[in-house]
Structure 1
Amino acid sequence: MITARDDRRRTFETVPAGAEAASWWGRAWVSALEAAARDGARLARGRAYAAEGHVDAVTVTPGRLVAYVRGSRARPYRTELLLAPLGDAEWAELLEAVAGDPAALAALLEREVPRALAGTVLPGPGELVPRCSCPDVARPPCKHAAALCYRAARLLDEDPFLLLLLRGRGERELLDELTRRNAAHAARERPAADAALPGVAARAALARRVLPLLPAPFPPPAAPGLPPACPADPGDPGAPDPLVLDQLATDAAARAFALLTTGEDTVGGLTLWQDAVRLASAHHTAGLTGAARTLFRDLARAAGRTTTDLARAAAAWRQGGPAALAALEEPWDPPAGPFDRARPALLAAALGPFRPERNRLTARTRQLRLGRDGLWYAYESRPDAEDWWPTGTPSPDPVTALRG
């Protein structure tokens, strides 16, 4: 399990080569320091230090970027770049803006800084504060701080989530919060009037019937084929979304391939709700992108559940399939033995006391649920909120499950 503390500290032993930023946000980062510099010679020397590999491992935490920079002396200098984190109200406004803007969200998922966020997350002139243990403190930035700035720009080129980490939030917690906000956005969208869904029930289509003998089949293919392309029809507002059709056709091809090669349909016995959850869990960004949001909403409507229910259930399915979904939705009364062993083990591991209730052990923002399969499933919730979401990997050992 990745905790908020783990998600808010990143260390890079190696940094991509070069001293010149390639992305527009990397260049904006460098410009913020250069605009406040009063000595071009120090900047030039810092750029040379960066290109020559004088910057050692870089550690990024909220508000601070730290590295040791080797200068003319044998002992390296501790060098920092400080950037004020955003407050809770600023983060709430930023996340809501991204959740409501499909273009900004798509850019972030493609590991790009959305242009709409430039004024919020990128440092302005004077916001990037350098510090260094070297004696050259008269006219900051010194050449060591400049070298760290140029090297950090190369890291930001590769992973712009580091810029958001400097502003106070880790990548995993950002994606989790965006998933929840997008589920709420999708729930507020007014769907079209209900219409009869085409096709027949899977059970009816797969029911065994007496048929005449067929000729010998061809050998099965090596892998499922790709579905045909379905171009969009901009002239027909009621035309189906081609990306949604592609996803459904791909899933159907995979099921057909399994049925052809094994004679078994691994999803034929699922309920309508379980199958909707399985489809929604196919990608960890399901429900986030504009293209997937329509499918996400339609799956929830077809199953008679909310998009928030579907987002939570999809997270459980990714955690452990049907057994994990049952642990999410089916409280039960297990025998006393597993709890009698689990609670002392959690105390011995310094994970705190847990309150038992049916098949659940709860301690503030953490929870464990015992499944009927004998595995423990970990959950997390925001402080002071009963909003439990699956996390980590299930395990027969409660300590291992809680720690991921």
Structure 2
Amino acid sequence: MNAYDSEREHTFEALPPAQGRGFAQSWWGRAWLAALEGGALDGEQVRTGRRLARAGAVGAVSVRPGRITAVVQERDGTGYRADVLLDVLTDAQWDRFLDLTVERSGHVAALLDREMPPHLVEDSEAAGIDLLPGLGDLEAECGCDAWDHCRHTTALCYQVARLLDQDPFVLLLLRGRAEQALLADLQARSTAEPAEAAPTPQQGVDAVEAYLAGHVLPPLPAVPELPGQPGVPPSLDTEAPPAGVVEPAALEILAARTAAQAHVLLAEALRGGAERLAPAWALTVGEDAVRLAAGRPGDADTAQWVLNRLAAGSRRGREQLALAVRAWRTGGVSALSVLEEEWVVEGEALARARAALDTAWEEDERPVLRARGNRWTVVGSAGQLRLGRDGRWWPYRKERGRWVPAGDAARDPATALAAVASEEVEEALS
């Protein structure tokens, strides 16, 4: 796929058009696009650039420290050189990054597998090293003389997101360190003699005296690793009858769900950047019932009993509850609201929705959509787009005469609708 021009510059061949798919599948690729979309001043240029990238208008991409370059062609064949700049890390920052990486063998293994571990990015940020760009960090230069991101530099950024999905070393080279040099430094540090352990602090010393005397304090404990599965709550199966209206089976299920939720929160805290679901105490009774049902509680017999109770308590039938659970697992409260609430899109929200739909596809690729409320149904297809109140698009497809969630939400309606096509292809192959 790529040809090595030199150790400090890599050139990637032009990628084929990205029709019917999103540009970033990895979390670090999406973070790259978030920096572009959040920092660009002209939303129309972003949408037009996305269309150019989707049509395959970006040529070979050259990546070197601090700069990526490509020629982007307009539909009339006119080519413009587009450059996107990102600050390189200093030698001191690279030294800290390498030390952080070798502290955990999993970081090195993940990089070798072309993965960007979330823990590595978080640890680096805590040490003052920003691997991923933030808002406004991606500077633009283009032959069309635009002073901010134009459609050409935007198209280049979308293409780079696809490259980052395949190889995070693209980002590391852009930050100033080539792959082979980086791996050599990691190897050297991994085989070096371990540093002397920090001296043990004196016991029984007053905190103020220790601070004034300059006593060396022990390092903070390492961030805990995520367990493979939630903890097992204690069993409440005893010979003593339950007191009052307490139901042991229900209590065991709630304890298991609490352990599962704690596992999810720990994973979220370690991963970073994940969108949090609403806390349980902020949910309505109906929403909380769906949350509990989404946890797949207990064995088969217990699960049926619990699901019947939750369906009745939330005033849903079992089929409605199952559909609500499916929505919940794609996006929590927001996804559940999109499933069960139909609302009228008007004013500024309607104008933004129409603009997004108009620019998401090329003229000859745009599907015919029939609108009703916040729902746009693809004519002659089993696909539908639903607009959430936060401006995101949710994909739906028709199964056995009813509309069901088909995937995660996206800011781009074409990306969201591509999830429906992906499901259809997977079903055809299975």
Q: TM-score, normalised by structure 2?
A: 0.41
